[in-house]
Structure 1
Amino acid sequence: MPEDLHDFVFFSKNFDRASGTLVPFLSEAQVNYAHGRKTQETVTHFLGRNKKSLKIAKTIEQHEIITTQGIIPVLGALQILEKIHPEHLAIVTSASRELCINRLQAAGLPCPKFIVSAEDVICGKPDPEGYFLGAQLLGLAIEDILIFEDAQAGIQAALKTCASLAIVGSCDASAGKELARIPDFTKIQIMRSKNRYMVMF
């Protein structure tokens, strides 16, 4: 499933003395790199792995968990999820489990039985470990799975498997340019025959 469940904001270690809050800073390179990756992996990529960077990553995660303003589902997502049995889908996310569930609830989307979150894998996206674990939880061969992705790191991970892949949204990924692309889920049709699904774009 699409993995656009959280926004990344980096925080510097410097506090604003007037408000007592952490001062955010952003760059296009940081945002592009961060999308679809574990928070800790992103922060340590730019700041190195040390006590300071790990503390910053923890601060970001805590901030994201409590921030739900503006969280909305991708168009058509709820209607698609209602057509799939809860045991026949999984979310593979670079977010923590708590953050994933909070964002699903904020968006008004059901929580599936199977979630592969940041805590469940050693290597996050673009490593495909999470997708193979998701297939294992579903009891399916990876080649029988359709992955929806919206981030460069996730697309790279999916391409390292034998799964089918569709790109959702406006991600300008260098990888997978020849793949199916959809703006949202409103034009997708799903037909079910026992435990198998036919998806038409």
Structure 2
Amino acid sequence: MPQTSTARAVLLDMDGTLVDSTAVVERLWLEWADAHGLDDDRVLSVIHGRQGHESMAILLPERDPAINRAENARMLSAEGVDTDGVVAVPGAAELLAGIVGLPHALVTSADEALAAARMAAAGLRVPEVRVTAEHVSRSKPDPEGFLLGAELLAVDPQDCIVFEDSHAGIAAGLAAGMTVIGVGERAGGAGAQALVADLTQVTIRPVDGGIEVTVA
């Protein structure tokens, strides 16, 4: 049964939502896990949706945060170069084309360089309004990034619809008081108001005073 919601702005996560970067992300993180003697499944259960240094803090709680930030910077550089297997999520290009001229922003835990590299590798337009790792002090599941995205668009948080794939990202959108549409199999069970397998199930159109989003 189709579900329709209305909003004044759309906020889009990148990895797992617009861009399928799972292959490179998990490859690099499993190399990191092996180097630190950590369980692969434990690492993969933590990393999605969060900034890398915060994932490291969860996985290695006794380690100096400065080491995490330095190691995360090196990993971001590696991720920006390694785009093998990075592709667009089905329907992403069409969704981005459909919201040209409507209030929308990219809200990602990647930094600016990595976001640009992955969106380019996937052949996707980069939204003009972006909230990247450089712009926030706290990573998802904290709502800071989504709240900043709403502020940059001059839209109340409750008038925003978020597209997210990870539990951390969905929690961040809900904590910001926004409607959240979960994308992909990782999104299940996190409390999103609607779930889609991919973005081909989403239709967006302008309506008087706002945006109408329908999920099949």
8 Å CA contact 2:33, 2:43 repeated in 1: no
Distance in 1 (CA, whole Å) between partners of 2:185 and 2:133 is 24
Distance in 2 (CA, whole Å) between partners of 1:64 and 1:189 is 31
Distance change >3 Å, CA 103–CA 26, structure 1 → 2: farther
Partner residue in 2 for 1:19: none
Partner residue in 2 for 1:67: 82
Distance in 2 (CA, whole Å) between partners of 1:69 and 1:121 is 28
Distance change >3 Å, CA 96–CA 162, structure 1 → 2: same
Structure number with greater Rg is 1
Distance change >3 Å, CA 50–CA 132, structure 1 → 2: closer
**Alignment length, in residue pairs?**
193
Distance in 1 (CA, whole Å) between partners of 2:163 and 2:65 is 34
Partner residue in 2 for 1:116: 131
- Indicate yes or no: 2:71 matched with 1:56: yes
Distance change >3 Å, CA 29–CA 97, structure 1 → 2: same
Distance change >3 Å, CA 83–CA 12, structure 1 → 2: closer
8 Å CA contact 1:3, 1:36 repeated in 2: no
8 Å CA contact 1:168, 1:183 repeated in 2: yes
Unaligned 5+ segments in structure 2 are 1-11
Partner residue in 2 for 1:35: 48
Partner residue in 2 for 1:3: 14
8 Å CA contact 1:121, 1:130 repeated in 2: yes
More helix by share: 2
Partner residue in 1 for 2:120: 105
Give the letter for the 1:39 counterpart. Answer: G
Partner residue in 1 for 2:200: 186
Distance in 1 (CA, whole Å) between partners of 2:14 and 2:51 is 12
The offset of 1:152, in angstroms, is: 1.0
**TM-score normalised over the length of structure 2:** 0.80
The offset of 1:175, in angstroms, is: 2.6
Give the letter for the 1:3 counterpart. Answer: M
1:82 counterpart SS class: helix
Distance in 2 (CA, whole Å) between partners of 1:114 and 1:86 is 12
Deviations 1:166-193 (A, max 9, x none): 000001554306x210001112222213
Distance in 2 (CA, whole Å) between partners of 1:23 and 1:128 is 30
RMSD across aligned C-alpha pairs, in angstroms?
2.4
Greater relative CO (CA pairs within 8 A, separation 6+): 2
8 Å CA contact 1:96, 1:118 repeated in 2: yes
1:165 counterpart SS class: strand
Distance change >3 Å, CA 57–CA 200, structure 1 → 2: same
Give the letter for the 1:155 counterpart. Answer: I
**TM-score normalised over the length of structure 1:** 0.86
